[in-house]
Structure 1
């Protein structure tokens, strides 16, 4: 059946255009129900003939049909695995798509999930359910009528098949519900429906608040004065206008507290604070700044016992405060003040019991801590009846200035619906980072870097924080890992594994398809990684054209963008250097190395690296913008010109020119540095360039002026992406959290001198970790050659010395020295040219990057100082070169001088 509409439209030029819109209606659209005799037979049914959910509102099995508002606002409820057999109309799906892309994505995921039994009914093309918009009817009213029509049709259709089923409309629109009930349909609000479900009381806490209960927590007027910013507090403390101390609440009087002002010896003092306004949202054990009141306003401690037992926020606090003032003995007055700001929150989880609200059906109630020094706390739950008279634990998350009580209503963006995945080396358990990319309705791309929220678990100043700061970094040895934080955190609670929900700190960009950033946002989040992949697995997905699932599509977009980002970075002068890296295969029982291979880098290695670099740069800009004096950054100084002498000379010996005036000049030179008959030359020249670099270091922005990162060609940089294994990243997370309003600051974080001292320790620990890792590689290399015996391998001369050559063995990532002159031996015919540089031995010329063959063995003659020994095999020099090895054994040879490494 074809329906058409014709109307006239005036064009810009003044003409008139006739527009015809055609709408096709069909009779063969399936209802989606299993074993339905009325519809054409389908292979894959969606709705079960016996839906499992039972309701107290009716006794027969049912399907649920939500309207648009329910899908938009109660998507958390619909995503619960308990909710199955749901009919989503085409009308609702189209409305949701136009109003919320994230919710549309989430509902589409539910429809795609076969075990959830969500069915899309195309009512707009069904002859019996399509409705025209009537004259004077709004689009919203027309859509509501279309949804009611679907409910009516389904109930009639199901009865024809003699099924003992019904379709229930779930709507939070009062008008829509009344009209549905008026024509004989069963309709309920989302809350009524969820509360009626048998054996699933936990679902009520997934309901979103849609009522006007906010007035129960906050009011439009401010109850408390604004806290002063930390910078003003510090200035005031320094000038003596404010005093810093520890807030001690009075357990017998909730309107009174004392602040123990920090000082040395007898200089410590006590300041009395009375009244809600003066207490100003401070909680027991907080570090606060107080301002002394004029002497004529000083009061004495109250002898009244006053507990906060009131049921609501409309208590006459002013009357209670007047009682305190009327009974004080002015002769005993003490220094009295008011809290003007919070320097450090010392909140922790509190044990106590819930007191149900007197308002019927309220979702917000008061929690009374067992510790009377802690104020009552507002909590949100729909299970108050279940929790009443039970001991529960509650944590404070915030205390707005217009709320009588603190809340536990942390704002953390829910990103569990996104197809996020991690890409790491094989066997990685401390997963710091995960990624996602998806197309937006406007054609741009959303790219997210999600980093483990370690700072949520490690709070400033506690024992765990102190130990992590001392260690500074995780140390990775060949056969083990020495964690900076306990394994429970590093490999479980913080690790972004694909086996459950995890807290993250997300950096999310909107990019165009040329990888240009349009806008950036940072947020604390909760994610559910859909896959933990190795670099090889991720590469396989990208390359396999038959795979087109959400994760694979995301990876392909990320890979495309990463290539653009890398090219742009290199064009700006970023260096692409090289260093030989090896991986040992360790015997699971003996822990001895049984094989050794160089690490193979794939496109996905570079893909992850690019987005980590981008996140680090973005976060560095944000924290420096907010905290110009105390941002923790990382810089890479430019090497002095003399560092490049060996590189320039080595390249010149192969007729290759290297320019080192700028990082860009060096990068361009390295790209062009090729010798046609020597393919490995470019890798060697990059390895040598790495040896010319300076060490990158952490520093505090307020203690330095040079922020530039030479190797990355970036004006500013920091470390944000690895908080599980680097303490620097935890500090950066705390700075970023304060910058975006997700956490509060504390004194040490804002002290540039303490930040500088911390950076010194981090730089030292990082250097020591590098030394440990190199020593571990050296030790395992010795163990490997101890079992392997004597071998011959090809290598390249990396450095030429006066009496020796340094040789790199690419196969093993091993570097060793071949000596041509020994102590207590007659001098050889050696000629060293420092300018070229070359070393001539008995007429044979050795130059940098020359290919040689060496015999590798383990010298175990000194048990305490075993070492790898290299001896020259090729080129052959009489009296110096040694015969090649066969099957790990040396061929018979004439007596020759002993060579040492």
Structure 2
């Protein structure tokens, strides 16, 4: 060695060279330099040969001599890589306390299976002394030179042997021995001649008394399935895929399964184009969300969607499902026969390989078997875009009727179903606590308790805001908040006053969360991970601890609060004369609900508005405050209407969605009644000023930070995306013009049916579905022409007004604070790579929170119908017509469902359905009966068509909540 560094623990240096051929056929040489150490601790806490950092992780000195009859001495377990890959979901069991995972095993799992690596890493983090990682590849005593290009399995075995032999010698006088657990008899038989204490994992557990359940579970996980004829094409090799991508033969994209037909999908590419995929064979075992490599089919094989509803719950029969390969390809044949009559073909592709699996653990139910005393079962995931998963278990009787978690292991070519294994039980299907947990798990909502390090970041109580020179004292202003009933995390408040020159001063005051959440603290990291507060029915998963979200940050009316204020000077016609931004100190005069604010605007007497306004010494003062707020709210209302007219005139869209809420019993969590959210003018009033604040802040931070401002864009939809809307409206006699936002808004305004007011609402709901979702992005990562927010007709837009519940707003607050010199720039605010990663996470968390909220609404519909069955038919509206069914919306519950019937009974012609001499048209009012039923242990809402009455029609219904 050139340097004398042996005193630092480095013993020797290893140089290895690799050679690689470039695309231009040149040979490049890469030299890898590795320093081997002699001071890496073994992990045994009482080892006299090693020195330990007092804060470093160690093993525990356990008395496990009597644990297993195969190892009747104090011992530490060492596992091979296949043990981790195959049995990771049982490693949390106390039997496996004091396990060493070698660095070579750790890295192999990380390379081979990211999903299992994530579990392994979490297991390591959660167990303070249960698992120890030994850096064998950096230790001079255990290093194995693998530069001779041995097979990977040989490398792993050599590393295992070298490590266990080292531990055996190293611990000779420590009273502890290493025990090697192997994944198979084959590996054990190879190693046992050189290391006697080698056993299979199943052998070791079999030698443990009272571990029958664990033994049976390991046997289930280890079972091998017989293979049959290949049903799917073989995937291309990694090299073949990469070469084809480089030559432009194949394209890489994201696989998205159709919500209406599980035999159809699209592959979405980065350039905003997409290819259509139809049939199991062409899908080739891809699962929704996988990153796939696809090849375009010859043009004569191109096809288009069938306009047929195909949902697994309706089509799959249990008797068929239980026999592997018993399903023929009648679906494929039907598709091939139908495509010849189709005119509007799409570029159609087949999948030739999968680059990245989107597999995770799934919640759902195990389905009953047709074969008595069988061990192979199908698992039905709650997420209907995921296929059935075949698992093996000896505990069906214990698992039936329970919501369980299953992980996918593989998808063999000879099976219609991926193969997986049981992970854990959540609870009894249908119980509120179980179903809430399923919603959170299925949508990957972080809902763990806040770590102690987060609470360490909170201010010590009691704490009160103090006036300071850097804050504008605005406590003299009549500021109030306007929110839904029961809101405790109050982000925003407003004020309005008339100036001497006849103009108006309007302020939007937003909770100053960044005063408490500083960059790169434990609290900031947790908030960045969660990215959003998640609202379920009767439950809220906070982004920030309750002390902040419902108290210190919340702009309540019980004392002063820190705020970040945007203040405009406006003309009476709502023209902006100037805009100011301040860190401020405010004192809200009242925390109003939308209804109370509306009553003030409507001149309702105070005594009728505030039934809690009882006589007191301060009564007159309170009345005076409320009368001043009444004047302020009326001025805000008048200005907001002018702002809205101007915004709509520029092309902003007024869309619609089905919004309901449940009154929930606080003690039992059972919904008592369902309430459709009524729209009040005060809601629009608040919305207009929040939009104005967001736009003003976006313009300010973009001007100062053109390369890293956090913005929100809503892409302009492709004209083709509006085709279903245009055709559906045309069938009802309306013309929708989606040429641009302005023409679309104007045509929606004119699409009114006096006899059926719901028509316009449903057209606006369907318009929403023609668009992609709005997303966060860092400025500078896209051309300026793509910054636009289409739905709001805004050139630039961001989120500033809800920092208690959105991390994006926290990031924007930090940028704005530096612009007005109220804070210093943190390096993370300018790190482009980090910003892109964070905005990707925010987009994902925001989307999942929306889906979780919808799933919670559907759950409460279940619970509501269970507690209070609907006796009478309900008004519903047809929102879609297919060859074999109807898509129906039930406004009372915000429920969307599919009613399926045999396609041979019906005819469709230009979106009109004819069945049994009855005609059903889009948006037609029908009546349906809702009933909660149980089939195969699964509770579902059965929807029966009551009017129009069609004799002899047997239907199957599928509840789908809101179409995502």
Q: TM (normalized to structure 2)?
A: 0.48
User: Residue deviations 1:803-827, cap 9 Å, x none?
Assistant: 1101111122111111112xxxxx6
* Deviation at residue 898 of structure 1 after TM alignment: 6.5
* Deviation at residue 622 of structure 1 after TM alignment: 0.1
Give 1:678-717 correspondences, 5 Å limit.
Answer: 678-705=756-783, 706-717=786-797
- Residue 794 (structure 1) aligned with residue 868 (structure 2): no
Alignment partner for residue 482 of structure 1, among 530, 541, 546?
541
Alpha-carbon distance in 2 for matches of 1:596, 1:659: 36
Structure 2 residue aligned with 1:38 = none
Alpha-carbon distance in 2 for matches of 1:663, 1:765: 28
Structure 1 residue aligned with 2:553 = 494
Structure 2 residue aligned with 1:564 = 642
SS class of match (1:879): coil
Alpha-carbon distance in 2 for matches of 1:899, 1:461: 50
Alpha-carbon distance in 2 for matches of 1:675, 1:461: 55
What runs of 5+ residues in structure 1 fail to find an aligned partner? 1-391, 398-407, 822-826, 881-895
Contact between 1:816 and 1:868, CA under 8 Å: does it hold in 2? no
SS class of match (1:524): strand
Structure 1 residue aligned with 2:741 = 663
Structure 1 residue aligned with 2:939 = 866
SS class of match (1:549): helix
User: Residue deviations 1:211-254, cap 9 Å, x none?
Assistant: xxxxxxxxxxxxxxxxxxxxxxxxxxxxxxxxxxxxxxxxxxxx
Alpha-carbon distance in 1 for matches of 2:792, 2:956: 46
User: Given the superposition, is the C-alpha separation of residues 818 and 441 from structure 1 closer, same or farther in structure 2, using an over 3 Å criterion?
Assistant: same
Structure 2 residue aligned with 1:534 = 593
Contact between 2:886 and 2:898, CA under 8 Å: does it hold in 1? yes
Structure 1 residue aligned with 2:930 = 856
Alignment partner for residue 463 of structure 1, among 494, 511, 522?
522
Structure 2 residue aligned with 1:15 = none
* Deviation at residue 862 of structure 1 after TM alignment: 3.4
Give 1:68-79 correspondences, 5 Å limit.
Answer: none
Give 1:327-726 correspondences, 5 Å limit.
Answer: 410-544=469-603, 549-705=627-783, 706-726=786-806
* Deviation at residue 839 of structure 1 after TM alignment: 2.1
User: Residue deviations 1:582-607, cap 9 Å, x none?
Assistant: 01010122110110011001000000
- Residue 740 (structure 1) aligned with residue 799 (structure 2): no
Contact between 1:853 and 1:872, CA under 8 Å: does it hold in 2? yes
Alpha-carbon distance in 2 for matches of 1:459, 1:813: 40
- Residue 831 (structure 1) aligned with residue 940 (structure 2): no
User: Given the superposition, is the C-alpha separation of residues 624 and 897 from structure 1 closer, same or farther in structure 2, using an over 3 Å criterion?
Assistant: closer
* Deviation at residue 869 of structure 1 after TM alignment: 1.5
Structure 1 residue aligned with 2:841 = 761
Give 1:213-224 correspondences, 5 Å limit.
Answer: none
Structure 2 residue aligned with 1:233 = none
Contact between 1:415 and 1:525, CA under 8 Å: does it hold in 2? yes
Contact between 2:944 and 2:955, CA under 8 Å: does it hold in 1? no
Contact between 2:480 and 2:591, CA under 8 Å: does it hold in 1? yes
Contact between 1:631 and 1:701, CA under 8 Å: does it hold in 2? yes
Alpha-carbon distance in 1 for matches of 2:559, 2:604: 29
Contact between 2:898 and 2:957, CA under 8 Å: does it hold in 1? no
Alpha-carbon distance in 1 for matches of 2:561, 2:791: 33
Alpha-carbon distance in 1 for matches of 2:955, 2:718: 41
Alignment partner for residue 808 of structure 1, among 878, 885, 889?
889
* Deviation at residue 409 of structure 1 after TM alignment: 5.9
Alpha-carbon distance in 2 for matches of 1:733, 1:723: 8
Alpha-carbon distance in 2 for matches of 1:767, 1:679: 30
* Deviation at residue 683 of structure 1 after TM alignment: 1.2
User: Given the superposition, is the C-alpha separation of residues 897 and 686 from structure 1 closer, same or farther in structure 2, using an over 3 Å criterion?
Assistant: closer
Alpha-carbon distance in 1 for matches of 2:815, 2:855: 35
* Deviation at residue 897 of structure 1 after TM alignment: 6.8
Give 1:86-105 correspondences, 5 Å limit.
Answer: none
* Deviation at residue 677 of structure 1 after TM alignment: 2.6
Alpha-carbon distance in 2 for matches of 1:871, 1:582: 22
Contact between 2:901 and 2:956, CA under 8 Å: does it hold in 1? no
Alpha-carbon distance in 1 for matches of 2:468, 2:922: 65
User: Given the superposition, is the C-alpha separation of residues 897 and 473 from structure 1 closer, same or farther in structure 2, using an over 3 Å criterion?
Assistant: closer
* Deviation at residue 640 of structure 1 after TM alignment: 1.4
User: Residue deviations 1:54-105, cap 9 Å, x none?
Assistant: xxxxxxxxxxxxxxxxxxxxxxxxxxxxxxxxxxxxxxxxxxxxxxxxxxxx
Alpha-carbon distance in 2 for matches of 1:726, 1:642: 33
Structure 2 residue aligned with 1:842 = 916
Alpha-carbon distance in 2 for matches of 1:435, 1:879: 60
* Deviation at residue 828 of structure 1 after TM alignment: 3.7
Contact between 2:897 and 2:958, CA under 8 Å: does it hold in 1? no
Structure 2 residue aligned with 1:360 = none
SS class of match (1:515): coil
Contact between 2:712 and 2:799, CA under 8 Å: does it hold in 1? yes
Q: TM (normalized to structure 1)?
A: 0.52
User: Residue deviations 1:535-574, cap 9 Å, x none?
Assistant: 0000000101667721111000000000000011001000
Alpha-carbon distance in 1 for matches of 2:958, 2:764: 29
- Residue 750 (structure 1) aligned with residue 830 (structure 2): yes
SS class of match (1:531): strand
- Residue 878 (structure 1) aligned with residue 951 (structure 2): yes
User: Given the superposition, is the C-alpha separation of residues 619 and 816 from structure 1 closer, same or farther in structure 2, using an over 3 Å criterion?
Assistant: same
Alpha-carbon distance in 2 for matches of 1:546, 1:525: 33
* Deviation at residue 860 of structure 1 after TM alignment: 2.0
Contact between 2:511 and 2:555, CA under 8 Å: does it hold in 1? yes
User: Given the superposition, is the C-alpha separation of residues 603 and 900 from structure 1 closer, same or farther in structure 2, using an over 3 Å criterion?
Assistant: closer
Contact between 2:536 and 2:853, CA under 8 Å: does it hold in 1? yes
Contact between 2:534 and 2:853, CA under 8 Å: does it hold in 1? yes
SS class of match (2:780): helix
Alpha-carbon distance in 1 for matches of 2:821, 2:531: 26
Larger of the two Rg values belongs to structure: 1
Give the root-mean-square deviation of aligned CA atoms: 2.0
User: Residue deviations 1:367-389, cap 9 Å, x none?
Assistant: xxxxxxxxxxxxxxxxxxxxxxx
Contact between 1:720 and 1:732, CA under 8 Å: does it hold in 2? yes
* Deviation at residue 900 of structure 1 after TM alignment: 6.1
* Deviation at residue 753 of structure 1 after TM alignment: 2.0
* Deviation at residue 675 of structure 1 after TM alignment: 2.1
User: Given the superposition, is the C-alpha separation of residues 535 and 738 from structure 1 closer, same or farther in structure 2, using an over 3 Å criterion?
Assistant: same
Alignment coverage as a number of residue pairs = 475
Contact between 1:816 and 1:869, CA under 8 Å: does it hold in 2? no
What runs of 5+ residues in structure 2 fail to find an aligned partner? 1-459, 607-625, 960-964
Alpha-carbon distance in 1 for matches of 2:605, 2:637: 17
Structure 1 residue aligned with 2:850 = 770
User: Given the superposition, is the C-alpha separation of residues 843 and 494 from structure 1 closer, same or farther in structure 2, using an over 3 Å criterion?
Assistant: same
SS class of match (1:860): strand
Contact between 2:710 and 2:778, CA under 8 Å: does it hold in 1? yes
User: Given the superposition, is the C-alpha separation of residues 785 and 583 from structure 1 closer, same or farther in structure 2, using an over 3 Å criterion?
Assistant: same
Contact between 1:585 and 1:593, CA under 8 Å: does it hold in 2? yes
Contact between 1:702 and 1:752, CA under 8 Å: does it hold in 2? no
* Deviation at residue 843 of structure 1 after TM alignment: 2.1
* Deviation at residue 844 of structure 1 after TM alignment: 1.6
